[in-house]
A and B are shown apart, each in its own frame.
Chain A
Amino acid sequence: MKPIKQSAWLLVLPVMVVLSFSAIIPLMTVVNYSVQDILGPSRHVFVGSEWFSDTLQDPELQKALLRQLVFSSCVLLIEIPLGLSLALVMPTRGAASSAALVLLGLPLLIPWNVVGTIWQIFGRADVGLGGYFMNSILHINYNYALNPRDAWCTLLLLDVWHWTPLVVLLCYAGLRSIPDAFYQAAAVDGASSWAVFRHVQLPKLRGVLTIAILLRFMDSFVIYTEPFVLTGGGPGDSTTFLSEFLTKLAIGQFDVGPAAAFSLIYFLIILLFSWLFYTVLSAQGRAEGPV
């Protein structure tokens, strides 16, 4: 349906110029490192895929990957429906909506290490409001520093608290962009609230939901600061996700090779999942009928 216009490339040119500084050069550098063994400042030996196969067979990596997948899945399963539901009930006019928007923005604006720090204290049974509430009021034995299950729950709660507003804001803006005419037509057609949601709102939010899903997946997959500050990867390695794993790998070794190799693998995994999400979600939107 869209007209073909090759000169539209001119409109995309500014973006390409800006990004050419950011993307191509650095990636080449990393690729370079990962297939070389840096034995010394002046001796670079090409060693090919040795680093890659070593890295992939590491059982620690596999465990970290599994943890990461579980974490990201939980994040998506909670934050997307929750964010959408909240956006549907947010006030749309007046002082209430202004207040709502400002409050929604607040968790997003806190530097991530501070977020981790807040919850670090908040979750402690001795000096934190949350910890105290759990242990002394609800009488649940809760300690995120010692109990892996508690550490997981706290991290999930932290992430939901921190990032659901992003989903809410996206969906809220998306809902505001649906022209009144559609709601009027639906009213005239006698549609119930559920029918309006299913046939007017949800289809029109598809673009926004795609962005929300991709953003939350990508960001949760590379999450580093908050778990590092809150649990340091522990107790043990129960909350050591992929980025923490990579950092330990890079810092602990003199050779840049394995870390760079893993960087690429990491990147490729994200790429694969994102591509899957993107393809599935936009295929659903591909509404062109047969010509």
Chain B
Amino acid sequence: MKQEGRILRRVVPLIYFTLLMLPIYWLLNMSLRLTPDILTRLEIVPLHPTFENYLHIMRDPTWYITYWHSFEYVALNVVISVSVALPAAYAFSRYRFLGDKQVFFWLLTNRMSPPAVFLLPFYEFYQSVGLFDTPFAVALAHCLFNVPLAVWILEGFMSGIPRELDETAALDGYSFPRFFIFVFLPLIRAGVGVTAFFCFMFSWVELLMASNLTATAAKPIVSVMTRTESATGLDFGLLAAAGMLTILPGAVVIWFIRNYIAKGFALGRV
């Protein structure tokens, strides 16, 4: 690799990540200060950092239970979306069948539907089947945009694997399930990793449906955060602390799937 290339690969990411972290640092900064302070003085480094905001959250059961609620429906959603998307993506990638192109594009239209449009029907529907205020309601509602996304991303990665590999495996005596799990999936693991993370992420931050399809038993953290508004206005410090805490689970998720995303593959022996 040329010398300039090497320098580029070191310096550019460094600059980018520094810039990327500035607003996150700012979030941290705000979380360690009280709102009146935030709104009146500029402190590049908090002069009197306080954990008051964090303590407020951790002491209040309605706050920390909602973290668990969020995690419940997001986990459900990721599992459902990815498992349902895998066979469908394989079908779109490997075969032609009646209506395949149309259905594939139709999936995309689900992803682009403004959720506000579906809110009322969802509300009525889940009320009528008794799923309102359960993690299932939100998990299923989020499938609206996550399932198409999962199918699209997985199909893209699956199409990168030459079809000859499937046939070779069949000749070598692999049954289809064994081939799919032990040979095929490892080859697209970067795609699976990215898909799982995106499904997690889009479901985790979704506010409208998660708030409106739940009441108390399944209330997620994102909607509780809107409660930070009081008579004196938005409680920025509290909101910032909640925001910081919201990032944590996602960071953990990405840490666990980092090897899926980062490792490519060499076309090895089947």
The answer to whether B156 touches A207 (Cβ under 8 A) is yes
The answer to whether A2 touches B42 (Cβ under 8 A) is no
List A contacts of B253 (CB < 8 A).
105
CA distance A144 to B125 in the complex (A): 42
List B contacts of A53 (CB < 8 A).
none
List B contacts of A215 (CB < 8 A).
111, 149
The answer to whether B95 touches A103 (Cβ under 8 A) is no
The answer to whether A114 touches B160 (Cβ under 8 A) is no
The answer to whether A23 touches B113 (Cβ under 8 A) is yes
CA distance A9 to B87 in the complex (A): 10
List B contacts of A108 (CB < 8 A).
201, 205, 250
The answer to whether A92 touches B262 (Cβ under 8 A) is yes
- For the A-B complex with A23-B144, A105-B251, A193-B2 known, give 12 more contacts whose Cβ atoms are closer than 8 Å: A12-B87, A15-B88, A15-B147, A27-B117, A86-B13, A118-B23, A122-B26, A128-B42, A176-B261, A179-B267, A204-B160, A246-B116
The answer to whether A274 touches B108 (Cβ under 8 A) is yes
A22 lies within 8 A of chain B by Cβ = yes
| Chain A contacts with B in 1-53, Cβ cutoff 8 A | 2-9, 11-12, 14-15, 18-19, 21-23, 25-27, 29-30
Scan A224-262; emit 1 where CB is below 8 A from any B CB, else 0.
Answer: 010000000000000000010011000000000000000
The answer to whether B251 touches A106 (Cβ under 8 A) is yes
The answer to whether A118 touches B190 (Cβ under 8 A) is no
The answer to whether A3 touches B96 (Cβ under 8 A) is yes
CB distance from A213 to the nearest CB of B (A): 12
| Chain A contacts with B in 102-140, Cβ cutoff 8 A | 102-114, 117-119, 121-122, 126-130, 132
| Chain A contacts with B in 152-209, Cβ cutoff 8 A | 161, 165-166, 169-170, 172-181, 193, 204, 207-208
The answer to whether A109 touches B246 (Cβ under 8 A) is yes
The answer to whether A109 touches B204 (Cβ under 8 A) is yes
- Of all chain A residues, the one with the shortest Cβ separation from B152 is A211
CA distance A177 to B193 in the complex (A): 12
- Nearest first, the 8 closest Cβ-Cβ pairs linking A and B are A207-B156, A109-B250, A26-B121, A176-B264, A11-B91, A22-B144, A114-B243, A11-B87
Interface SS of chain B? helix
Interface size class of A (residues with CB under 8 A): 35 or more
A218 lies within 8 A of chain B by Cβ = yes
The answer to whether B108 touches A214 (Cβ under 8 A) is yes
A90 lies within 8 A of chain B by Cβ = yes
- Of all chain B residues, the one with the shortest Cβ separation from A108 is B201
B40 lies within 8 A of chain A by Cβ = yes
The answer to whether A26 touches B117 (Cβ under 8 A) is yes
| Chain B contacts with A in 139-160, Cβ cutoff 8 A | 140-141, 143-144, 147-149, 151-153, 155-157, 159-160
A-B contact pairs, 22 of them (CB 8 A): A4-B97, A8-B95, A18-B147, A19-B147, A103-B20, A104-B20, A108-B250, A109-B247, A109-B251, A111-B243, A114-B243, A121-B26, A129-B29, A173-B261, A174-B157, A177-B188, A178-B264, A179-B266, A193-B5, A215-B149, A222-B112, A267-B114
CB distance from A272 to the nearest CB of B (A): 11
Scan B160-174; emit 1 where CB is below 8 A from any A CB, else 0.
Answer: 100100000000000
| Chain B contacts with A in 22-48, Cβ cutoff 8 A | 22-24, 26-27, 29-30, 38-42, 44
B270 lies within 8 A of chain A by Cβ = no
List B contacts of A25 (CB < 8 A).
121, 125
A89 lies within 8 A of chain B by Cβ = yes
List B contacts of A208 (CB < 8 A).
156-157
CB distance from B181 to the nearest CB of A (A): 15
The answer to whether A113 touches B207 (Cβ under 8 A) is yes
CA distance A112 to B206 in the complex (A): 8
- Of all chain A residues, the one with the shortest Cβ separation from B223 is A111
